[in-house]
Amino acid sequence: MTDKDWRNFGLAVVGLAIAACLPLSGNGYYLTIGVTIAMYVVLATSWALFSGPTHYISLATAAFYGLGTYVVALGIDDVPYIVLLVIALVVGAVSAALVGLATLRLSGVYFVIFTLGLAEMVRQVVTWVQSNWGGHQGNYVLTDITEEIIYWELLALAACVYLAGWLIGRSRLGFALKIIGNDEVVAAHSGINTARSKVLLFMVSGMVASLVGAILAPRWTYIEPSIAFSPMLSFQVVIMALLGGVKRLWGPLVGVIPFTLLWEAVSISFPNQTLLLMGVAFLLIVYTIPHGFVGLLETYSARFRERKG
């Protein structure tokens, strides 16, 4: 590792340690915002791990997230929670692998719409199964898991995602993904198994989303399909990641935080026009910050360097 790596590593550890102290503030509201931010940081970062280098815009986050939620909902009465987390992880990875194998040859808008449809299809199948064979199970998740625990779980997961992202970035796999994102034909002709690389990364992002769903399930107490498979979730993850910028591992982080705070500010100040104003904010982001905060920062720092030099 280089000096820079050590510095970044140190920064990350300090940041994480500070974040981990949030519940100690004793303010439940800050903690709730913290959970929201942690959840979206994890989802957006793992989303960007796949979509950043490959430029495949996946709207399947809700599908995997919902699967994880339902794993917990269906199993909580019979299986220990920790085992359910593992099952959720496996279910997410396996289904992402299946989906990936089937769809990663689709490109552009087809992939986008496909993943959007996928969330709906999974939702339909899950509710149909529950409706026909679920019996009384599947709606209530009554546990003693508090918001603090959920928050720490999410932070730990965030740490894992960053570590994984950093390792992938340094690995052949990460390099392969970069090449694929540049030119898939060249990638194949350089000996890269493009399908395998993409599926692997898609699995990472799928299983993280599934795990997040499983971690958050106790927070809802009562699981409804509309809670578990909300298409809004997928879109929010995408917009937050893009707002931050997907070229850097920390990009989604700098997107999630301002977005969550902005959303908060809007809901507080305009409770009756929340959606309307969020729409306006959405448009402003798309029009004024097309390359995300990372792009913005890089432009400024480039200008700064120019001026200096």
Partner 1 sequence: MKRRLILKLAGAAITASLAFGGAAQAADTIKFGAVAPKTGPLAGGAVVTHWPNIKLWVAQVNARGGLKLKDGQRKIEVIEYDDQTNPGETIKAVQRLVTQDKVDFLIGPYGTGFNLAVAPVFAKYGYPLIAMTAITDQIPDLAKKFPGMFFTLGSTTPIVQGLADILAKLVKDGKIGNKIAMVNVADAFGIELANAARPIFKAAGLDVVYDKSYPLGTQDLSPIVKGAKAANPDAFVAWSYPPDTFGLTGQAMVQGLDVKVFYTAVATSFPAYGGKFGVAANNVMGTGGVNPDDPAIKEYMKAHKEITGLDADFWASSSVYASLQILEQAIEGVGEVDRAKVTEYMKSNSFKTILGDITFDENNNNAKYWTVGQWQDGVYQGVAAVGRDGAKEVRLKSGWK
Partner 2 sequence: MDILITGLLLGGIYALMAMGLSLQYGVARIMNLANGEMLVVGAFAAFWFFTVAQLSPLISVFLIAPVIFALNWLIYQFMLLPLVKRAKSQGQLEVDSILATFGMSFILVGLMVAVFGGDYFNYTFLAEPMEILGNTYAANRVVAFLMAMLIGGLLYLWLNHTRPGMAMRAVSVDTEAAGLVGIDVQRMSALAFALGGTVTAIGGGFISTFQTMDASIGILFTMKALIIVIMGGVGDIRGTIVAALVLGLLETFIATVIDPGLTLAAAYLMFILVLLFRPQGFFGRKPS
Partner 3 sequence: MARSILSVQNLTKKFGGLVAVNGMTFDVGEHEVLGLIGPNGSGKTTMMNLISGALKPTSGSISLQGTRISDLPAQEINRKGVARTFQLVRLLPSLNVIENVIAGAVFGHRKRWGVEAENYAREMLERVGLQVAGDAPVSTLTYIDQKRLELARVLASDPKILLLDEWLAGLNPTELETGISLIRDLRNDGRTIILVEHVMDAIRSLCDRCVVMNSGTKIAEGTPAEVLADREVIRAYLGDDDA
Q: Which residues in this chain contact partner 1 in the complex, by CB under 8 A?
A: 27-33, 36, 39, 124, 127-128, 130-132, 134-136, 138-140, 142, 146-147, 219-227, 230, 232, 258, 261-262, 264-265, 267-269, 271-272, 274-275, 281, 284, 288-289
Pick between residue 10 and residue 290 the one whose CB is nearest to partner 1.
Answer: 290
Among residues 163 and 186, whose Cβ is nearest to partner 3?
186
By C-alpha distance, which of 205, 94, 199 is closest to 157?
205
**308: enclosing H helix or E strand:** helix 292-308
Least distance in Å: CB of 137 to partner 1?
A: 9
The smaller minimum CB distance to partner 1, of residues 179 and 256, is found at 256
Nearest partner of 178 among 46, 9, 43, 49, judged by Cα: 49
Residue 12: count of CB within 10 angstroms of its CB: 17
Q: Which does 191 bind (CB under 5 to 8 A by kind): partner 3, partner 2, partner 1, none?
A: partner 3
Q: How far apart are CA 168 and CA 172, in angstroms?
A: 8
CA angle 11, 15, 19 (to 5 degrees): 170
Query: In the chain, at which residue ranges do the beta strands (DSSP E only) sit?
Result: none
- The answer to whether 28 contacts partner 2 (rule: CB under 8 A) is no
Contact indicator for 41, 158 with CB cutoff of 8 Å: yes
Does 179 bind partner 3 (CB under 8 A)? Our answer is yes
Is the Cβ of residue 112 or residue 297 nearer to partner 2 in the bound state?
112
For tokens 């090449």, the residue is 179
> What are the two backbone dihedrals, phi and then psi, of residue 140, each rounded to the nearest 5 degrees?
-105, 130
Tokens for 118, please give them.
């996928």
Among 265, 275, 301, 302, binds partner 2 (CB under 8 A): 275
Applying CB under 8 A, does 113 fall inside the site for partner 2? yes
271 binding partner (options partner 1, partner 2, partner 3, none; Cβ < 5 to 8 Å by kind): partner 1
Q: How many residues bind partner 2 (CB under 8 A)?
A: 43
**From the list partner 2, partner 3, partner 1, none, partner contacted by residue 193 (C-beta under 5 to 8 A by kind):** partner 3
Q: Is 249 in the site for partner 3 (CB under 8 A)?
A: no
Based on its alpha-carbon atoms, the radius of gyration of the chain, rounded to whole angstroms, reads 20
Q: Is 186 in the site for partner 3 (CB under 8 A)?
A: yes
Site string for partner 2, 230-249 (x = CB under 8 A): -x---x--xx--x-------
4 binds, among partner 1, partner 3, partner 2, none (CB under 5 to 8 A by kind): none
d(CA 235, CA 252): 14
- The letter for the amino acid at 299 is T
What burial class does residue 108 get, using C-beta atoms within 10 Å of its C-beta: 0-12 exposed, 13-18 middle, 19+ buried? Answer: exposed
Residues in contact with partner 3 by CB under 8 A are 172, 175-176, 178-179, 181-183, 185-194
